Amino acid sequence: MKRDAFITAPDDVRDIRHFHLFCGLGGGARGFNAASARVGNMVGRFRCLGGIDVDPASIRDFSRLAGVPGTVLDLFDREQYRAFHGSEPAAGWREATTADIHRAAGGERPHIVFLSAPCKGFSGLLAEGKSRTDKYQALNRLTLRGVWLMLEAWADDPPELILFENVPRIATRGRHLLDQISALLRQYGYAVAETTHDCGQLGALAQSRKRFLLVARHMAKVPPFLYEPVSRPLQGVGTVLGRMPLPGDPAAGPMHRVPALMWKTWVRLAFVTAGSDWRSLNRLAIEDGKLRDYLIVPEMHNGALGVRRWEEPSGVVAGASRPMNGAFSIADPRFEQSSKWRDGQAYGVRKWSAHTGTVSGKTMPGQGAYCVADPRHGGPAKHSNEFRIVRFDEAARAITSAHGTGQCVSDPRPAGEVFGKYAVTPFDGAAGTVISGSTTGQGAFAVADPRPGMQRQRGDHYLTGGHYGVVPWASSCGAVSASACHDNGPWTVADPRVCDSVQGGDFGMPAAADRLVARIRAEDGTWHRPFTTLELAALQSLVDPEEVLELDGLSDSDWRERIGNAVPPDAAQAIAGEMGRTLLLAWSGETFTLSSAPIWVQPALAALTVAQGGAA
Encode pLDDT of 171-182 as tens digits.
888 888 899 999
Q: What is the mean pLDDT of the chain?
A: 80
* pLDDT over 70, % of the chain: 76
Quick one: average pLDDT of 136-143? Answer: 85
User: Under a CB-based contact definition with an 8 Å cutoff, are residues 66 and 31 in contact?
Assistant: no
CATH topology for 12-236+566-587 is Rossmann fold (3.40.50)
Higher per-residue confidence, 483 vs 30: 30
Of the listed ranges 355-369, 424-438, 481-495, the one predicted with least confidence: 355-369
C-alpha–C-alpha distance, residues 151 and 569, integer Å: 25
Of 141 and 466, which is predicted with more confidence? 141
Residue 43 in contact with residue 7, Cβ under 8 Å?
no
Closest by CA position to 136, among listed 458, 115, 128, 171: 128
Residue 612's pLDDT is what? 38
Domain boundaries, the chain: 12-236+566-587
Give the confidence band of 124 by pLDDT, cuts at 50, 70, 90: low
**pLDDT tens digits, 551-581:** 998 888 899 999 989 999 999 999 999 999 9
In the predicted structure, residue 364 carries a pLDDT above the cut 80: no
Model confidence at 607: pLDDT above 50: no
Tell me: pLDDT of 535 over 50.
yes
Q: What is the pLDDT of residue 443?
A: 62
Instruction: Please tell me what DSSP assigns to residue 90.
Output: P
Spatial CA neighbour of 531 closest among 479, 493, 489: 493
- Indicate if the pLDDT at residue 264 is higher than 60: yes
pLDDT exceeds cutoff 60 at 301: no
- The pLDDT of residue 382 is above 80: no
Is 424 strand, coil or helix? Answer: strand
Mean pLDDT for 25-52 is 95
